[in-house]
A and B are shown apart, each in its own frame.
Chain A
Amino acid sequence: MSRSRRIAKEMQDAQADPQSGIRLEMVSESDISHLKGYFEGPPGTPYEGGHYQVDIEIPSDYPFKPPRMKFDTKVYHPNISSQTGAICLDILKDTWSPVLTLKASLISLQSLLTSPEPSNPQDAEVAKHYMADRRGFDNTARYWAKVYAGADGGASATATTPAKTPDVFELYGIDRDSVKAFESMGFDQQRIVEVMRRIGIKKVGADGVEDRILEELLK
Chain B
Amino acid sequence: MSDASDDFDDYDQGSEFDFDEESFGGSDYGDNEGFEEVKPESTKLKAYEVEHEVLSTAGIQQRQDSQIGQVAAILGLSRESVMVLLLYFKWNNDRLLEQYTEDPEVVLKKAGISADDDSNKKEYKIMSVVGFMCDICCEDRQGLETFALECDHRFCLDCYKQYVTQKIVDEGESRNIQCPGDSCSLVVNNEGIKLIVEDRVYKRYLTLLNRTFVQDHEHLRWCPAPNCEYAIRCDDVSAKDLKTVVPTVQCACGHRFCFGCGLSDHQPCICILVKKWIKKCEDDSETANWISANTKECPKCMATIEKNGGCNHMTCRKCKYEFCWICIGSWAEHGTSWYNCSRYDEKSGVEARDNQAKSRASLERYLHYYNRYANHEQSAKLDKDLYLRTEKKMTQLQSTSGMSWIEVQYLAQASAVLQQCRQTLKWTYAFAFYLEQNNQTHLFEDNQKDLEMAVEQLSELFEKPIQELAGLKVTVMDKTAYVNNRRQILLEDTAKGLHEGRWRYQVELK
Contacts and interface: CB of A to CB of B under 8 A. Distances in A.
Interface in B24-56: none
Nearest to B184: A97
B299 interface: no
Contacts of B301: none
Contact of A99 (B139, B158, B162, B182): B182
A64 interface: yes
Given A61-B166, A64-B163, A64-B166, A5 B138 contact: yes
The majority secondary structure among interface residues of chain B is loop
A9 B133 CA distance: 12
A9 B162 CA distance: 20
Given A2-B137, A2-B158, A65-B166, 13 more contacts: A2-B159, A6-B137, A9-B138, A61-B162, A64-B136, A64-B162, A95-B183, A97-B184, A98-B159, A99-B153, A99-B155, A99-B182, A100-B182
A63 interface: yes
9 contacts: A2-B137, A2-B138, A61-B162, A95-B183, A97-B180, A97-B181, A97-B183, A99-B155, A99-B182
A161 B59 CA distance: 65
A9 B153 CA distance: 20
Interface string A1-16: 0110110010000000
A6 B138 contact: yes
B135 interface: yes
Given A2-B158, A2-B159, A99 B136 contact: yes
Contact of A2 (B136, B180, B181, B184): B136
Nearest to B167: A64
Contacts of B136: 2, 6, 63-64, 98-99
Contacts of A6: 136-138
Nearest to B179: A97
The majority secondary structure among interface residues of chain A is loop
Interface in A64-112: 64-65, 95, 97-100
Contact of B139 (A5, A65, A100): A5
Contacts of B162: 61, 64
Given A61-B166, A64-B162, A64-B163, A99 B181 contact: yes
Contacts of B180: 97-99
A63 B135 CA distance: 10
Interface string B136-156: 111100000000000001010
Contacts of B135: 99
The 7 closest A-B pairs by CB, nearest first: A2-B137, A9-B138, A98-B136, A97-B182, A99-B135, A98-B180, A6-B138
A98 B139 contact: no
A5 B138 CA distance: 7
A97 B177 CA distance: 12
Interface residues of A, number: 14
Nearest to A101: B135
B139 A2 contact: yes
Nearest to A13: B138
Interface in B340-371: none
Interface string B161-175: 011001000000000
Contacts of A63: 136-137
A142 to B, nearest CB: 33
A2 B159 CA distance: 9
A3 B137 CA distance: 7
A205 to B, nearest CB: 41
A64 to B, nearest CB: 5
A63 B181 CA distance: 12
B310 to A, nearest CB: 37
A98 B153 CA distance: 12
Contacts of A2: 136-139, 158-159
Nearest to A5: B138
B385 to A, nearest CB: 50
A3 B162 CA distance: 12
Contacts of A5: 137-139
A164 B162 CA distance: 50
Q: Which of B138, B158, B184 has the most CB of A within 10 A?
A: B138
Contacts of B159: 2, 98
A22 B135 CA distance: 20
Nearest to A104: B182
Nearest to A12: B138
Contacts of B163: 64, 98
B25 to A, nearest CB: 51
Nearest to A95: B183
A65 B180 CA distance: 12
Contacts of A64: 136, 162-163, 166
A9 B137 CA distance: 9
Nearest to B180: A98
A135 to B, nearest CB: 35
B185 to A, nearest CB: 11
A135 B468 CA distance: 94
Contacts of B139: 2, 5
A61 B166 CA distance: 10
Contacts of A3: 137
A164 to B, nearest CB: 43
